[in-house]
């Protein structure tokens, strides 16, 4: 597996991106494209729990819900772990150079991170 400290740091960064409204951290464009592709994270950005479907006033209350609710918290942590593992697998086959994404197995480059993500998923057969 990967270095546990790196995994935890990436999980905390994703959580800060999802639940902070001011001074959100910058994410790698590939990671951002991966998050936008998963429907559960779009629910979280809309202040809705992806597990139980409950709506909240803001993402701050959703973060409190994840801290208190056992089932929702466990499934959210599992979702975070899945995203981190998928991101590390995609990063292994892509390389970024001067704003271009090179994917192993392709002879050309991609300028859009979402296209590079789709190509990497095709290489990895995810």
Over the stretch 87-117, which tens digit does the pLDDT of each residue have? 988 888 888 887 788 888 887 888 888 888 8
Q: Which two tokens stand for residue 1?
A: 């597996």
- What per-residue confidence (pLDDT) applies to 54? 92
The total domain count for the chain is: 1
Do the beta carbons of residue 94 and residue 116 sit within 8 Å?
A: yes
Domain assignment present for residue 58? The answer is yes
By percentage, how much of the chain surpasses pLDDT 70?
Answer: 98
Strands 109-110, 94-97: pairing is: unpaired
Q: Does 38 score more than 80 pLDDT?
A: yes
pTM greater than 0.85 = no
Q: Given this model, what pLDDT does residue 2 score?
A: 58
The reply to whether 105 falls in a domain is no
Read off the pLDDT of each residue in 9-29 and give the average, rounded to a whole number.
87
Q: How far apart are CA 76 and CA 125, in angstroms?
A: 24
User: Is 10 a member of any domain?
Assistant: yes
Residue range 7-34: average pLDDT?
A: 87
Residue 114 belongs to some domain of the structure: no
**Structural domain includes residue 96:** no
Percentage of residues in the chain having pLDDT higher than 90: 24
Give the whole-angstrom CA distance, residue 102 versus residue 84.
20
Domain annotation covers residue 36:
yes
122: in domain = no
With 60 as the cut, is the pLDDT of residue 26 above it? yes
Domain that holds residue 27: 4-90
Q: What is the mean pLDDT of the chain?
A: 87
Q: How confident is the model at residue 75 (pLDDT cuts 50, 70, 90)?
A: very high
């Amino acid at each position: 597996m990967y270095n546990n400290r790196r995994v935890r740091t990436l999980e905390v960064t994703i959580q800060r991106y999802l639940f902070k409204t001011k001074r959100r951290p910058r994410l790698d464009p590939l990671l951002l494209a991966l998050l936008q592709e998963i429907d559960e994270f779009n629910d979280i950005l809309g202040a809705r729990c992806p597990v139980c479907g409950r709506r909240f006033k803001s993402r701050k209350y959703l973060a409190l819900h994840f801290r208190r609710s056992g089932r929702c918290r466990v499934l959210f942590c599992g979702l975070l772990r899945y995203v981190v593992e998928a991101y590390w697998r995609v990063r292994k086959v892509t390389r970024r150079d001067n704003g271009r994404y090179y994917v192993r197995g392709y002879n050309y480059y991609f300028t859009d991170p979402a296209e590079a993500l789709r190509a990497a998923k095709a290489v990895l057969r995810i």
